Amino acid sequence: MVFDSLAQVPERDTGASDQCVAEDGFCPQWIVDNFGDYVQPLLDHTYLTVVTVVIGFAIAFSLAILAHRQRWLTGPIIGFTGALYTIPSIAAFFLLLPITGRGNTTALVALVAYTLLIIFRNVTTGLRAVPAETVDAAQGMGLTDRQVLWRVELPLALPEILAGVRIATTTTVGLVALAYLAGGDGLGRQIDAQITFKSNVALAGGLCVLLAAVLDLIILGVQRRATPWMRAAS
């Protein structure tokens, strides 16, 4: 039925047949030997994370621009995305099954929902923090509303916006580990398949943390490059 893949437990490779592996221990040699099996799940994990954040950003950013023009929309949007954010991801994965079926789509829908509040809030906060005098000056120079937004407000809000993207990204890496419950890919299935085997847990869990750290650093690097004036000021 829908859940058949939950029952799959891969055969553990005990080619070395060493004591450590048999005792579910933490075995560096096993990790080195079997690292190859974790590459595809890692790539899937990365893919799901990136797609989630990109889609989430597109939606949340558009909503934030809309709310920037129509201030009264801010409250309702935060209320709605806040409610989505509070629903536990595991429950959301299963509650979506009757609608979107098993697979990456279900995982994506739920994961995108979690990024909305984080990114929306930070874009809104960033835009609001732009000094009124700066906007006045830009308008005085004859910039249209659209030009003020894209050339003045958004660049100045960029650090806050990217801070939101960083948080959304690390959070998503963690949540993608649960996507296997909805039939999605990623390192979560690896963790669950041999959850009592220390080497497996340490390797798959370690890769998740590493992925979060690397993606975080990449966005931080983008932020540094995109906002050279921040470095000059500090």
198-226 vs 39-69: helix crossing angle, rounded to 10: 40
202 lies in the binding site for another protein (CB under 8 A): yes
Segment near another protein (CB under 8 A); pick from 47-55, 63-71, 141-149, 195-203? 195-203
Segment near another protein (CB under 8 A); pick from 12-20, 54-62, 139-147, 183-191? 183-191
CA dihedral 139, 141, 147, 151 (to 10 degrees): -110
Are 158 and 227 within 8 A, CB to CB?
yes
Could you say which residues in the range 56-85 bind another protein, by CB under 8 A? 82-83, 85
Closest CA to 204 of 170, 178, 165: 178
16 lies in the binding site for another protein (CB under 8 A): no
DSSP letter (8 states) at residue 207: H
Could you say which residues in the range 156-175 bind another protein, by CB under 8 A? 160, 163-164, 166-167, 170-171, 173-175
- Strand (E) or helix (H) holding 46: helix 39-69
How many helices (H) does the chain have, and how many strands (E)? 12, 0
In angstroms, the Cα distances linking 170 to 41, 79, 81, 154, 199 are 17, 23, 18, 23, 23
Least CB distance from residue 223 to another protein, whole Å?
10
Are 219 and 166 within 8 A, CB to CB?
yes
Least CB distance from residue 133 to another protein, whole Å?
20
103 lies in the binding site for another protein (CB under 8 A): no
Sole binder of another protein in the list 89, 102, 112, 127 (CB under 8 A): 89
33 lies in the binding site for another protein (CB under 8 A): no
109 lies in the binding site for another protein (CB under 8 A): no
The residue ranges that bind another protein (CB under 8 A) are 1-3, 6-7, 24, 82-83, 85-92, 94-95, 97-98, 117-118, 121-122, 125, 160, 163-164, 166-167, 170-171, 173-178, 181, 187-188, 191-192, 195-198, 200-202, 204-205, 208-209, 212-213, 216
